[in-house]
Amino acid sequence: MKYLFLPLAFLLFIAAKCDKNSTAIQLGESIELAPGQSASTDDLVLGFVSVESDSRCPKYTNCVRAGEAKITMIVNDPSAPVSMQIEADTKQTSSHTVGGYQVVLQALDPYPEAGKTTKPEDYRLKLMVKKAANK
């Protein structure tokens, strides 16, 4: 299965470099992506693939646990293309380091509401990319 992601990640990297509508990443600034969209720096491409599941507690309801959303992204550092799943809960941001960058998930909108179903194409992923701190 992971062998399928490597060619896909490479194609995403090439497509983002050729696509004039691809979002340019400004380090330290928030960007918003819809499913199927990508953003890039000179040496990193991020692609928002989909929301695999969203079990966050809907607005105006009481839940035993907050729940989380699972988001699939293709991250292409030319030296190591990867697919990653991000789990986002309601109380903290999720952060991953790849290729010398820190990718910080800030929000996944829209937030669930009781009795309403969100279409997959209506999701928006808000994230920030910054240089990873050296340890």
Q: How far apart are CA 16 and CA 119, in angstroms?
A: 25
DSSP 96-131: EEETTEEEEEEEEESPPBTT----GGG-EEEEEEEE
Q: Which pLDDT belongs to residue 65? A: 82
Q: Which pLDDT belongs to residue 126? A: 92
Strand pairing report for 124-131 and 80-89: unpaired
Q: Which pLDDT belongs to residue 42? A: 83
Q: What is the pTM of this model?
A: 0.76
Question: Residue 103: which of 36, 33, 51, 50 has the closest Cα?
Answer: 33
pLDDT tens string 7-27: 554 444 445 444 555 789 999
Residue 82's domain comprises 2-131
Which SS3 state, helix, strand or coil, does residue 9 take? Answer: helix
Residue 6's domain is classified under what CATH number?
Answer: 2.60.98
For residue 52, the surrounding DSSP H or E stretch is strand 45-54
pLDDT tens string 54-102: 888 898 888 888 788 888 888 886 555 555 555 655 556 678 888 788 9
The domain total for the chain is 1
